[in-house]
């Protein structure tokens, strides 16, 4: 069974990587699909985000990283994915994700949504929080892979914080 894990991943966090790794244990193949969301102004280009994810997931042999535009269910059908994989952190995520799952079901009855609760150590983590911390000069080394932390520090013209 093929699972599609869609998102903006701007940037990819350790929480995202946790969901990806766990998804790869559950499904034959996982496709991480990077969306260029027109409602958000991304820090990193789609190509940069794809490379960040690939760099952090080289050890996973049943993973593909790609990009798409348009409706998630249309891309899932195109890729023969039967499952949309979504991570849940807090109750507000559940409300939004459940609504999206119901909407997606009206668009395609063949595609199911599977929710994975994030590991507790990542339950507070979001890409937005990471960018805000980095923008104000805080350390994000414990929130994102090392290569992503370095790119964030460059973006915000800050040196890596010293302990």
Strands 112-117 and 63-68: unpaired
Catalytic residue among 86, 89, 123, 131: 89
Catalytic residue among 102, 127, 150, 154: 127
The yes-or-no answer on residue 16 being catalytic is: yes
CA torsion angle for 33, 36, 42, 46 (degrees, to 10)?
60
Residues of the chain by 3-state class (helix, strand, coil), percent to 5: 45, 20, 40
Catalytic residue among 16, 49, 86, 131: 16
Strands 83-88 and 63-68: unpaired
The yes-or-no answer on residue 40 being catalytic is: yes
The yes-or-no answer on residue 108 being catalytic is: no
The yes-or-no answer on residue 127 being catalytic is: yes
Catalytic residue among 40, 102, 135, 154: 40
Q: Token pair of 106, please?
A: 């009206």
Alpha helices, DSSP H only, in 58-118? 72-78, 91-107
**Beta-ladder partners of 30:** 3, 63
User: Which residues have a catalytic role annotated?
Assistant: 16, 40, 89, 127
């Amino acid at each position: 069974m093929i699972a599609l894990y869609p998102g903006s991943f701007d940037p990819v966090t350790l929480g995202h990587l946790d969901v990806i790794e766990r998804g790869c244990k559950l499904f034959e193949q996982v496709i991480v699909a990077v969306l260029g969301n027109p409602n958000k102004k991304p820090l990193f280009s789609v190509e940069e985000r794809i490379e960040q994810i690939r760099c952090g997931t080289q050890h996973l042999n049943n993973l593909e990283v790609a990009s798409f535009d348009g409706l998630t269910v249309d891309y899932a059908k195109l890729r023969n994915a039967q499952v949309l994989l979504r991570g849940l952190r807090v109750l507000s995520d559940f409300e939004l994700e459940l609504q999206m799952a119901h909407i997606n079901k009206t668009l395609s009855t063949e595609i199911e949504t599977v929710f994975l609760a994030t590991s507790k150590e990542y339950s507070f983590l979001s890409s937005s929080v990471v960018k805000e911390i980095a923008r104000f000069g805080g350390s994000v080394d414990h929130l994102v892979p090392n290569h992503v932390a370095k790119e964030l520090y460059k973006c915000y013209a800050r040196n890596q914080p010293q302990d």
